[in-house]
Amino acid sequence: MQAKKNSLLENEGKVKGWIIAISVIIPVAVAVLIFMPAKLDLGADWVYFLPHLNAVMNTAATLALIAGFLFIKNGNIPYHRASMTVAFGLGAIFLVSYVIYHAAAESTSFGGEGMVRSFYYFFLLTHIVLAAVALFPILFAYYYGYTDQRVKHRKVVKFAFPIWLYVTVTGVIVYLMISPYYVH
C-alpha cells in the first residue's frame, strides 16, 4: 500500500490532471444524459427502483460522513478513513445508478404547490449546483487524505465536507418531496 501511495505522490501532477478532468467530464456527461431527447431502452422497468436505492445510498453516505467527522474530531484516524472510504464508495455507486436512471427514464415533474413548491425548487437547485461542483474538492480531499498530506487535506476538507454533506442531505430531501409523483 505504501508503494502505491509513493507512486501517487511521484505522479501528483498527473493525478491532479485526472481529478480536474473527472470533475469536469462527469457533470457534463450527467447533464447530457438528463437532457438527451431520446432515453436509452434498457429493456425493463427495473430502472424505476433506482431513485429509491439512490435515496438509501445518500442516507448511508450522510451517516458515513457524519461518522467520519466524529471520528476525526476524536482523533480516530483509522475509523475516519474507513468512514470516508465508505462515503466515497457509496457516492461512486450512487453516481453510476443516477446516470443509469436518468439515461433510461424521463424526469419526474414535481406536483406540489405553494410554499412546498418553493422549498422543493430551492433544495433542488442548490443541490444540483453544489453536486456539479462537489466532485472537485471531494476528489482532492480524498486524494490528500489517502496520500497522508494532512495539511492539504485539512484545507480542502473545509470546503469539501460541508458541500458533500449538503448534497447528500438535500438529495434525500428532494427524493422525499418528489417520490409521491413518480409514475412507476
What CATH code would you report for 2-181?
1.20.120
* Residue-level pLDDT at 6: 58
**Cβ atoms within 10 Å, residue 109:** 8
Q: What pLDDT sits at residue 4?
A: 60
> CA 98, CA 111: separation in Å to the nearest integer?
21
What is the model's pLDDT at position 106? 79
Output the tens digit of pLDDT for each of the chain's 184 residues.
Answer: 666 665 666 788 898 999 999 899 988 888 887 777 777 777 778 888 899 999 999 999 999 999 999 999 999 999 999 999 999 999 999 999 988 888 888 778 888 899 999 999 999 999 999 999 999 999 999 999 999 999 999 999 999 999 999 999 999 999 999 988 876 6
Q: Break the chain into its structural domains and give their ranges.
A: 2-181
Can you list the alpha helix ranges (DSSP code H) found in the chain?
2-10, 12-35, 50-73, 77-104, 115-146, 150-178
